[in-house]
Structure 1
């Protein structure tokens, strides 16, 4: 606490007023600092509100996804059950087919035995036929010999001749019959061989069918095991899904509560900001009132300088309009046209070229007023700053918005609270305190004093003079 005790009388009253003015200035700075923190908190809460809304939407999507998972697992369980029923039905049919294949293999195997027996019987018949043919040949030879002998005997051998002829005829018929039997046997053997070959192929195919059936049975067993495992996994998935659904509902409820809490906090900090804003305005007006009373404060040199500078700019604008350099309508142009490719965005108006010509000779000398001065620049009533100090009017670098934001501050809109107040205030001067963002989370407390610029009775904007607080203030 400063010692505000002063002796009574005019000198004591003057000292007390100066102390009060200094305290009012300090108060405005402290409130501006608190307001800056409140703005930062408000910004964070606003981002948290958006994040909470995103979380709420995500939770809603999770609930929807949980319902879809439930439907999918239900459909999968139904499909698994249907597959199990189909598996049972096909298993009975397949077992019947396996039985039929086994029976066919047994019958084919029995047929092979019959074919072998037939082949043996044909062999025996062939051997008998060969013996008969041999006997018939011998009989034929005997019959020829008998005929020869009967012919020698003359009339005595006629009866024997007849018998010999009949025996010969019988042997010839026997030979013809045995020949037919041989041909028939050959045909039967060929047929039997064909049957045997066919039977061998059928037997091989039935063996293949049996192997395939055994393989299929093994595969079917694996399929059964896989289906059973799928069924078990689906049961686990369903249990996990139920647990997840419960967790999602819990998370969703928590997110809703969080969103409501953040929204309430945002409303609360908005009220705090508004209150700080009102108190700041009151303290700044109080500080300004002390200055208007003629009380010399640390801000007095800056107030006097900015009023003089604003008067010079008003006079320069008046002369430009009077000389025809610019029309009054063009001087008050509010159609801000974007500079193509600028980042941060820069804009132009019909009076920008004139301010580039008239303002530097007035604004640049103000930088030498004190080492505390940071910048001096005029803004129109909408916070548009057409011509900045040369140090802040560098050409923009393409693709480097961070550098541009710090070094290319001309032709920019500064329509924040401080900028708009400076541009729109019609008071003889306006003194504001604020936190300037230096980047990287660093802030510097500054003061901004401004004075109105008028042209032919119309309020054009204001001249801003920003300066840092002296150390220890």
Structure 2
């Protein structure tokens, strides 16, 4: 197995001294404090940026609201005008209905008078019918008398010849009278029937007209009610128009306040941004100082984790090179950079040809390291030169639930984490690199940890680092 020499910083040979150890501890605490302060400023920067975005959204919303209010004002003004026009028309219709009701009342009176006349006419027809029947009776009697007279004239012979002529004329008159009486009776009956029908129609017309008159009266009441409602709508519309005008004025005034807030927030955002940038630079300097202190051997508390990480890195290198030698793992699979996105993962997670082998062989090593000091050690990972984590501790390799906070905190296997101190450590050729950083939690909270990076070189080629994150 070929090893590439790492650049080592020589430890300072100093006698055991409480002041030196305290100074080293303070340096570490300062680095932690810088990281914490940078985290606070980063949150403040995010909050200021969030406020800036929300302010823009609020301004846009206010403009839309103001536009909507202007449309409401216009609509209510038009509605008020339409209400007044509708009331005017309804009142005109009400006057027309009043005239119609009066006309209907006069018409009903005329129809009732006509009905009375027709009824009188029907009574007269009935009297004519009775007279006609009397004529018919007289005609029958006269006919009998004429028949008797003819018989008597026949008996008298020549002396009754003249009387016979008279009897014949009387008979003819009786027959004509009877025929006329029958014709009169038929005509009267026909007129009586027609009169009865006409009277029935008049009565139906009177009933219908009365119903129509009642309906017109109901319609008149309804128009009064609708007029009142429309009048109230007009009043409310005018009130709405007045209120929306007040709201519009309030929005104008609130816009001035929002503009002032936006200006202040912009100034704060700029100031916080500058402070954050300066603190990030200070954090990098503090990390450099922390790395130098640990390399000098002055921080014994940190050195034990350096030694543990170095020991476990050599173990990972050995088992990996053995697997390559036995053919169970290839160099191509080990250095596979073709990240395959795991569908539906959020945050994004990836797989390579190394993933399954690493889970079987590297994860047990990581778990054993965590078990050595579970209270202090936060995480143990093998990270590639580009920040890819093919595996993680089982605690952070849970099945995703789809809930972003859970998956951010507990589904870290397959993630790519490559920023800040990670980039510095991957570029370093030292035997180890120390840093303090904010360990991501659920995406909203974090924990400040110390981290040691020990290079992993497989068959002389730098794959990445074995990392141990811990707290003291």
TM-score over 0.5 for the pair: yes
Are residues 318 and 126 of structure 1, via their aligned partners in 2, closer, same or farther at CA, if it must alter by over 3 Å? closer
Identify which of structures 1 and 2 has the higher relative contact order when contacts are C-alpha pairs closer than 8 Å and 6+ apart.
Answer: 2
Change in 2 beyond 3 A, CA 1:119/1:397: closer
Q: TM-score, normalised by structure 1?
A: 0.77
2:354 alignment counterpart:
351
Cα deviation for residue 199 of structure 1 reads 2.6
> Please, what TM-score do these two structures have when normalized by structure 2?
0.77
Partner of residue 378, structure 1 = 382
User: Is 1:302 the counterpart of 2:305 in the alignment?
Assistant: yes
For 2:63 and 2:280, the matched residues in 1 are separated by 38
* Residues 1:449 and 2:452 are matched in the alignment: yes
**Cα gap change, 1:59 to 1:327, in 2 (>3 Å):** same
Q: Relative to structure 1, is the Cα distance of residues 289 and 62 closer, same or farther in structure 2, using a 3 angstrom cutoff?
A: same
Q: After alignment, is 143-152 or 424-433 more displaced?
A: 143-152
Match of residue 180 from structure 2: 180
Q: Is the Cα–Cα contact under 8 Å of residues 424 and 462 in structure 1 kept in the other structure?
A: no
Does residue 286 of structure 2 align to residue 283 of structure 1? yes
Residue 331 of structure 1 and its aligned partner are, at CA, apart by 3.2
1:200 aligns with 2:200: yes
- What pairs up with 1:189-228 in 2 under 5 angstroms? 189-228=189-228
Rate the CA distance shift 1:329–1:249 in 2: closer, same or farther, 3 A: farther
CA distance in 1, matches of 2:178, 2:364: 147
How many residue pairs align between the two structures? 456
Unaligned runs of 5+ in 1: 1-9
Q: CA contact under 8 A between 1:392 and 1:409: conserved in structure 2?
A: no
- 1:195–1:223 distance in 2 versus 1, CA, 3 Å: same
In the alignment, structure 1 residue 336 sits paired with structure 2 residue 336: no
**Secondary structure of the corresponding residue to residue 414 of structure 1:** coil
**Counterparts of 1:446 and 1:439 in 2: how far apart (Å)?**
15
Q: 1:172 to 1:259 in 2, by over 3 A?
A: farther
CA distance 1:386–1:141, change in 2 (3 Å): closer
Query: How far apart in 1 are the matches of 2:163 and 2:343?
Result: 141
Instruction: Measure how far apart 1:379 and its partner are.
Output: 0.8
Check whether the contact 1:373–1:465 (CA below 8 A) recurs between aligned residues: yes
Q: Deviations over 1:168-195 (max 9, x none)?
A: 4145324423431332233223223322
- Structure 1 residues 426 and 272: alpha-carbon distance in aligned structure 2, compared to 1, 3 A threshold: farther
Q: Secondary structure at the match of 2:301?
A: coil
1:207-250 CA-to-partner distances (Å, cap 9, x unmatched) read 22332232233234223422431332243144225424643664
1:248-267 aligned at under 5 Å gives the runs 250-251=250-251, 253=255, 262=265, 264-267=267-270
Please state whether the residue corresponding to 1:413 is helix, strand or coil: coil
Determine the C-alpha separation between the residues in 2 that align with 1:336 and 1:249: 57
CA–CA separation in structure 2 for the residues paired with 1:166 and 1:243: 112
- 1:4 paired residue number: none
Instruction: Please show how residues 56-455 of structure 1 align to structure 2 within 5 Å.
Output: 56-70=59-73, 72-74=75-77, 76-77=79-80, 79-81=82-84, 83-84=86-87, 86-88=89-91, 90-91=93-94, 94-95=97-98, 97-136=100-139, 157=159, 161-162=161-162, 165-166=165-166, 168-170=168-170, 172-244=172-244, 246-247=246-247, 250-251=250-251, 253=255, 262=265, 264-310=267-313, 313=316, 328-339=331-342, 346-356=349-359, 359=362, 363=366, 366-367=369-370, 370=373, 372-389=376-393, 391-392=394-395, 396=399, 409-415=412-418, 417=420, 419-436=422-439, 444-454=447-457
Question: How far apart in 1 are the matches of 2:364 and 2:172?
Answer: 155
- Structure 2 partner of 1:34: 37
Q: Which shows bigger deviation, 22-31 or 196-205? A: 196-205
